[in-house]
Amino acid sequence: MAAFGENIGMYEASFSRLPSQSNVYGLSVLSMPTWEGSKLLVASLSGGKMFCLEYQRLQGVVRLVSREIHFAYIPGDADIVSIDSFNREGTQPGTLGGLVIGITFIKDPSNTPAQYLNIYSAAVESGLEYSLDTIAQSCMCNIELQFIPFQLTHTRLCEEDGGDTVFLLGGNDQKIHLFRQDRETNQFMEENITDCFPEFDNLPGNAVWMDTQRVGGHKRITAFGCEDGHVNVAIVNESSKEIQCMGGVQHDGPITSVRIYRSKLDTPCPAVLGNKAPALPVHTTQEGEYHLVVTSVLELAVVYREVMLGGLTRQAILPESNLYDSALCCCVGDVDWDGQNEVIIGTYGQELLVYKYCEGSSRGRHKSNSSVASEKSASLESDFTLLWRRSFAHPILALAYLDMTRDGLWELVVISTKGCHILQHSLEEAAGKITERLETLALQGTTVNGSK
Amino acid sequence: MRYVSFVEHLQLEFSGNLMPQAMVLGDVDNDQDNELVAGNVNGQLMVFKGTDTTPWRMASGLGMTSCAAVGDVCNTGKNVIMTLSAEGWCHVFSVSPNEKQNKDDEKDKEATVAQAKGGPEEMTPVYQQLLAANGQAIVIADIDKDGKNEIVIGYTDRVVRAYSWVESTSATTGQDVLSGKFVLLQTWELVGQVGSIVVTTGVDGQTELLASQPGCTYTTLLMKDTGKGEGGDKENNEDEEEEEERQQASGETVIFHPLVSSRARNPDVSTEIIGNLATGPSDDAGDCPGRGLYAMCTLDGTLMLGQGEEIVWSLQVDHHLFSLTKLDVTMDGKDEIVACGWDGQTYIMDHLRNMVRFQFDQPVNAFCAGLYAVAPGKNVPCLVYATFHNNITLHFNTTLPCLLPTTLTDVLADKERVTQLLQKLNLQDADSGTLQQLYHWCIYGQP
């Protein structure tokens, strides 16, 4: 957008300090029902403290409120490693049944360390499925782990496997572990990962970060990055458990994060507009839309484009991403409001970098197949451009782009070693864009009525 | 409570401790760019300019510098630095800007670099005089409306003295030395310790001299020869004034404002005051509601905004506030109040009591806020913290779009055009969830 100029007009709306540093696995976005608004759960590394951050409206004024949540059965000397949460399916298919929060921690880290995974959830249909304080007191299970836990994440299994959402936990035993809730006992149990995820069999190293994405046609993209620099991506048929293709590359130095994303994002037209809105082109998910961001400790962050078509062959670098110490985290969001997702990188060198994909070079590549090699080398330099960068006072550990303020405009959440920064877009610019769009809508609305 | 973090900063090399009022921002070399002046207790004075983290100019042997000020003390049309030592010596420094005789820029740069490598340029005072000892607050302003600046100094013995510069009649001896001297103009004796002195425009539009007094109170200092002002006060509070007049036949020049409803917890706690808070460009229109605003803070955590005898608002915080300045953080022409505690907690507040906090991570030795030219030709708002670890941290570009957190819904609700458009679309009664979806689609959904 031309209006943005050199800066995409985001400023720090709020900053919430944490008593001790968090880590790269320390942020979880709580998927609350719509009326609750978005909340964040941030882990503070030492002391086992967890904080819930949300915007609250008091006397007409919105404020970022940070509240400590006391989770039961986490000792005071514990170091939190990773947290994750998901919204489980309700008793009726298609309904939501409440939050499930998983926390991995190391108990007594200095003397006799022991690792645990605690899973919290309120009783089904108790009416308190989203009350954090209730959830925090109802520990469903406390699983002792025989390995050092890494990233805790979740994914939904396909219908053939029951359609449950399961926790996936990486460990230092070169394995990824799957925890699934038993339907009868309601307890989470570890299950054999290869039954559902054959791509996680026989890992080349300790997976520090993984991401899965379900694609239409019973397909699943799985990507993971290892401590030794190995990045693997696999396309799996969910129902037949057949690995359709799998490829890996070796980076120099440990991988810090991987993320599968789509170039566009689907924004459904609000129901209230009905036929007033121009009909959206019927969106078909194309396999060429999926890309993979990889950040690593030593090297430039890269994007592997079109992973479903070409695996890990179409590498595009994110220029200057190695200049600010290690890139630790990444997130994806349409921060310039053009319908295309941008890649956002957070570095230990206290910089936030936003990259935009340039259409021009990719078009050129499709035009002339003969000069693929030369085009590709050129595209290495020009596919992504640094759209915006902002310095922070502290190293950046985690990022998220979501609507915290419940106004339709998303905020960028940046977790630094000192706390949680919320970056808000320039509201005047957003108001301008909305006025423009509403003008068009109103115009279309009147012409439609006139023709009737 | 809203917190923010400021990122851009300079770490300036500064040795030794300094007194809270011995650090000031001002244009010392008359090039329209502000510099930072800081004097330590070991007699060194340093001037910082631009992004250079080492001093640009330096002076030493000044005694224990208790306060520093930048202003046109000698009424020559040029700003000078004035420092005051606890021993009573005042030193005046006239600083010339970097010479720009070389028109060739590169040579000029080289010259500056060479100069920077050679260490800061020594300054020698153009004037010094022994005044009364133990000054702790200074202000340079025209207090008697004669078009010339005076200096007003508050002392630890609860006396405030005003001096004016009198040029000697003999021919000037040259540019490097000023001829003339400071002559005592008036003395005020106060009841309590002076925290800071400020010259402000009163509610009636007249210039007032205020000195803060312990317990979140202040005193108006009147000039002896301003008969009109005194007369007006007499009319207003005839009874009280007359009683006081009888007690002190010599003529009352000190009016104490007890501010009865003040919520200060301790009547003896030291207090800082600032005045002349800009309330926006509409000031010139004549009567404006914000005239005569002043703010005070105390070491036990009271922050107060007052106007004349009335307290606009006051609140208690749990940090020891030792320094109070004003700065237009939102760039809207209105000054925000910036108060800093010993532990680095900084409060930025506007006239409507909206508050933003910033935590500086170290204990603070001295604090000031104002404009500083990081790049030549542009003064930007900044917060300056002197630490106990031999450095000064200067946070620059400390601007915020607004103090009160808002959302897009609030902004759009104030826009008439949007309300009209929503009516056209029959969405005027839509609930917040629907609007959220609609706005989200307007921004992220492409047509």
pLDDT value, residue B283? 46
- A446–B424 C-beta distance less than 8 A: yes
Helices B238-247 and B227-236: crossing angle in degrees, nearest 10, is: 120
- B400–A11 C-beta distance less than 8 A: yes
| Nearest-angstrom CA–CA distance, A361 and B369 | 48
Residue B431: its chain A contacts at CB < 8 A?
Answer: none
Q: What percent of chain A has pLDDT over 70?
A: 88
Both structure tokens of B117: 């490598």
Confidence of residue B147 (pLDDT cuts 50, 70, 90): confident
Q: Is the ipTM of this complex over 0.85?
A: yes
Of B434, B446, B447, the CB nearest to A270: B434
pLDDT value, residue A39? 87
Looking at residues B255-279, what average pLDDT do you find? 79
| Nearest-angstrom CA–CA distance, B54 and B44 | 14
Provide the whole-model pTM: 0.85
pLDDT value, residue B116? 52
Looking at residues B158-166, what average pLDDT do you find? 92
Q: What percent of chain B has pLDDT over 70?
A: 83
Q: What is the mean pLDDT of chain A?
A: 85
The answer to whether the Cα torsion of B40, B44, B48, B51 is positive or negative is negative
Q: How far is B9 from chain A (nearest CA, A)?
A: 9
H helices, E strands: number in chain A: 6, 28
pLDDT value, residue B206? 84
What type of residue is A262?
Answer: R
Of A271, A408, A442, the CB nearest to B424: A442
Question: Residue A218 has what DSSP assignment?
Answer: T
Better pLDDT: A268 or A344: A344
Give the residue among A409, A405, A403, A441 at the shortest CA–CA distance from A427. Answer: A409
List strands edge to edge, sheet with A114-121. A79-89, A96-107, A114-121, A139-145
Is the predicted pLDDT of residue B228 greater than 60, yes or no? Answer: no
| Nearest-angstrom CA–CA distance, A408 and B438 | 7
Query: At B263, which helix (H) or strand (E)?
Result: none
Looking at residues A430-438, what average pLDDT do you find? 91
Q: What b-and-e string marks burial along B337-364, b requiring 16 or more CB atoms within 10 Å of the CB?
A: bbbbbbebbbbbbbbeebbbbbbbeeeb
pLDDT value, residue A126? 75
Q: Which residue of A has its CA nearest to B428?
A: A272
pLDDT value, residue A38? 82
Give the residue among A112, A121, A289 at the shortest CA–CA distance from A216. Answer: A289
pLDDT value, residue B188? 92
Both structure tokens of A151: 């990233």
Cα torsion for B266, B271, B275, B279, to the nearest 10°? -50
Residue A408: its chain B contacts at CB < 8 A?
Answer: 408-409, 435-443
Highest mean pLDDT among A281-285, B364-368, B423-427: B364-368
Confidence of residue B224 (pLDDT cuts 50, 70, 90): confident
pLDDT value, residue B355? 92
Ranges of H-type helices in A22-173: 132-137
| Nearest-angstrom CA–CA distance, A80 and A133 | 18
Q: What percent of chain A has pLDDT over 90?
A: 51
Is the predicted pLDDT of residue B440 greater than 60, yes or no? Answer: yes
pLDDT value, residue A271? 74
Confidence of residue B75 (pLDDT cuts 50, 70, 90): confident
Q: Which residue of B has its CA nearest to A279?
A: B447
pLDDT value, residue A375? 43
Q: Do the Cβ atoms of A291 and A213 come closer than 8 Å?
A: no
Better pLDDT: B8 or A126: B8
Of B404, B405, B440, the CB nearest to A267: B440
Rg value, chain B, Cα: 25
Looking at residues A288-309, what average pLDDT do you find? 91
pLDDT value, residue B77? 87
Residue B6: its chain A contacts at CB < 8 A?
Answer: 393
Residue B348: its chain A contacts at CB < 8 A?
Answer: none
Burial class (CB in 10 A: 0-12, 13-18, 19+), B446: middle
Looking at residues B388-409, what average pLDDT do you find? 91
Q: Do the Cβ atoms of B20 and B9 come closer than 8 Å?
A: no
Q: Is A266 helix (H, G, I), strand (E, B) or coil?
A: coil
pLDDT value, residue B309? 83
What are the DSSP E strand ranges found in B168-292?
A: 180-189, 197-201, 207-213, 217-221, 254-257, 271-274
Chain A interface test: which of B395, B412, B422 (most A C-beta within 10 Å): B412
- A403–B417 C-beta distance less than 8 A: no
pLDDT value, residue A365? 44
Give the residue among A411, A251, A426, A398 at the shortest CA–CA distance from A330. Answer: A398
> Per-residue pLDDT tens for B94-136?
988 876 544 445 545 555 554 555 677 888 899 999 999 999 9
Confidence of residue A338 (pLDDT cuts 50, 70, 90): confident
- A276–B415 C-beta distance less than 8 A: no
Q: Is A239 helix (H, G, I), strand (E, B) or coil?
A: coil
Residue B307 backbone dihedrals phi, psi, to 5 degrees = -140, 110
pLDDT value, residue B54? 92
Q: What b-and-e string marks burial along A240-278, b requiring 16 or more CB atoms within 10 Å of the CB?
A: ebeeeeeeebebeebbbbbbbbbbeeebebbebbeebbe
Give the residue among B369, B345, B360, B343 at the shortest CA–CA distance from B274. Answer: B369
- B5–A421 C-beta distance less than 8 A: yes
Confidence of residue B176 (pLDDT cuts 50, 70, 90): low
Better pLDDT: A279 or B274: B274
Number of CB pairs, chain A paired with chain B, less than 8 A apart = 157
> Per-residue pLDDT tens for A36-68?
678 888 988 777 889 999 998 888 888 899 999
> Per-residue pLDDT tens for A143-196?
999 999 999 999 998 888 888 899 999 999 999 999 998 888 888 999 999 988
∠ Cα A38 A43 A46 (to 5°):
165
Residue A49 backbone dihedrals phi, psi, to 5 degrees = -95, 140
Looking at residues B180-195, what average pLDDT do you find? 90
pLDDT value, residue B19? 92
Rg value, chain A, Cα: 22
The CA-atom distances, in angstroms, between B288 and each of A153, B280, B285 are: 59, 10, 7
Looking at residues A9-24, what average pLDDT do you find? 90
Better pLDDT: B218 or B287: B218
Confidence of residue A101 (pLDDT cuts 50, 70, 90): very high
- B401–A11 C-beta distance less than 8 A: yes
Confidence of residue A362 (pLDDT cuts 50, 70, 90): very low
pLDDT value, residue B244? 46
Is the predicted pLDDT of residue B282 greater than 60, yes or no? Answer: no
Neighbours of B201 (CB within 10 A): 17
Helices B416-424 and A427-451: crossing angle in degrees, nearest 10, is: 30
pLDDT value, residue B349? 93
pLDDT value, residue A15? 93
Give the residue among B18, B35, B177 at the shortest CA–CA distance from B85. Answer: B18
Looking at residues A29-35, what average pLDDT do you find? 79
Looking at residues A72-88, what average pLDDT do you find? 91
Q: List, as one string, the DSSP characters of B326-380.
A: EE-SSSSSBPEEEEEETTSEEEEE-TT--EEEEE-SS-EEEEEEEEEEEETTEEE
> Per-residue pLDDT tens for B345-373?
999 999 889 999 999 999 999 999 999 99
Q: Is B224 helix (H, G, I), strand (E, B) or coil?
A: coil
Is the predicted pLDDT of residue A450 greater than 80, yes or no? Answer: no
pLDDT value, residue B287? 52
The strand pairing partners of B61, in sequence order, are none
How long, in residues, is chain B?
A: 447
pLDDT value, residue A390? 92
- B443–A403 C-beta distance less than 8 A: no
Highest mean pLDDT among A92-101, B171-180, B199-208, B326-335: B326-335
Q: Which residue of B has its CA nearest to A12?
A: B4
Q: What percent of chain B has pLDDT over 90?
A: 49
∠ Cα A32 A34 A35 (to 5°):
100
Looking at residues A390-418, what average pLDDT do you find? 93
List strands edge to edge, sheet with B336-341. B2-4, B355-359, B345-349, B336-341, B321-327
Both structure tokens of A92: 């009726």
pLDDT value, residue B264? 57
The strand pairing partners of A10, in sequence order, are A425
Is the predicted pLDDT of residue B308 greater than 50, yes or no? Answer: yes
Residue A308 backbone dihedrals phi, psi, to 5 degrees = -75, -25
- A62–B424 C-beta distance less than 8 A: no
| Nearest-angstrom CA–CA distance, A269 and A278 | 9
List strands edge to edge, sheet with B293-298. B271-274, B293-298, B302-307, B310-316
Better pLDDT: A9 or A101: A101
Both structure tokens of A35: 């009326």
Is the predicted pLDDT of residue A353 greater than 80, yes or no? Answer: yes
Looking at residues A222-230, what average pLDDT do you find? 94
Of A55, A61, A406, the CB nearest to B436: A406
Is the predicted pLDDT of residue B20 greater than 70, yes or no? Answer: yes
List strands edge to edge, sheet with B121-122. B18-26, B35-40, B45-48, B57-59, B121-122
Looking at residues A184-211, what average pLDDT do you find? 91
Is the predicted pLDDT of residue B333 greater than 60, yes or no? Answer: yes
Residue A433: its chain B contacts at CB < 8 A?
Answer: 442-443
Confidence of residue A88 (pLDDT cuts 50, 70, 90): confident
